[in-house]
Amino acid sequence: MQKRKLGKSNLEVSAIGLGCMGMSFGYGPAKDKQQMIPVIRAAVERGVTFFDTAEVYGPFINEELVGEALAPFRDQVVIATKFGFKLDPNTGKQAGLDSRPEQIKHVADGSLKRLRVDTIDLFYQHRVDPDVPIEDVAGAVKDLIQEGKVKHFGLSEAAAKTIRRAHSVQPVTAVQSEYSLWTRGPEEEVLPALEELGIGFVPYSPLGKGYLTGKMDENTPLDSSDFRNILPRFKPEAMRANRALVDLLGTIAERKRATPAQIALAWLLAQKSWIVPIPGTTKLARLEENIGASAIELTPDDIREIDSAASKITVQGARYPEHVEKMTGR
């Protein structure tokens, strides 16, 4: 597995990471921890050194899973986690945003215990909190870095202007936002700002929450607790309309003797040398497929062909319902 540096920070990670959320949260019931630990450890054995989790995944149980799975490999891996959601003390469910400095420090202490680490490698603000100036957020993380509890500061789904303001207080190592062939919003303002500032970029949902693998269509059954049920882009009519994008990936994949998922990931890797996608999976075979994308070379002609064909396809359906979308891109 090749390595990449996240911007100018010298934080070096595998070119493809592992998003661990779906093991505990979001895509139906939490998977059995004893079945997920071997998947995470198999990723390490295959050269993955970058693992992504968050307090809110579960909540808490995903960090506990990642902490237990990676305990034997602590000195070989980089673990990223996140703060910024308010949790209902009775139900444990998300209840809005909370990035007050005292809350950030409280979350850090909890994450350190659950992850079984002395220092959090990369601590992202999960969503921008409009009630707390980003300078205060960056200042709180700066304090944690000075105390030795955190090594690197990150932002998720932040707008370019917010990134700049945060970066002026505490250098931002990485920004994590959704980015893939069917979600290209970051190209407009965020990626140019990151390039200028020397900040790495970590695309989440690089396979379009499973859709770009070509293994899903409007007849694919989803568990009632799967959050894709509420996403406009996963309504049957949108899934049918967006099939053209999967067909495009399939055409290139055939030529490269690869899979659509591998082409989707290789396309991201080809965009910038400081982009590190974090596809998630619960299956060993998918993990190996995703890792295999790092060996696929897309030529400039391949990229032009993909971009040209993709530009003629209008993606149907918003990526999130309106109330969720309001929490992104601030």
Catalytic residues: 57
How far is it, in rounded angstroms, from Cα 322 to Cα 73?
41
3-state secondary structure of 101: helix
For 25, the token pair is 């949260």
- For residue 242, give the nearest of 181, 200, 188 by alpha carbon: 181
Cβ-contact 115, 48 below 8 angstroms: no
- For residue 322, give the nearest of 232, 211, 248 by alpha carbon: 232
3-state secondary structure of 91: coil
* Cis peptide, bond prior to residue 101, ω within 30 of zero: no
How far is it, in rounded angstroms, from Cα 211 to Cα 222?
12
How far is it, in rounded angstroms, from Cα 243 to Cα 212?
9
How far is it, in rounded angstroms, from Cα 328 to Cα 158?
7
Cβ-contact 138, 153 below 8 angstroms: yes
* Cis peptide, bond prior to residue 38, ω within 30 of zero: no
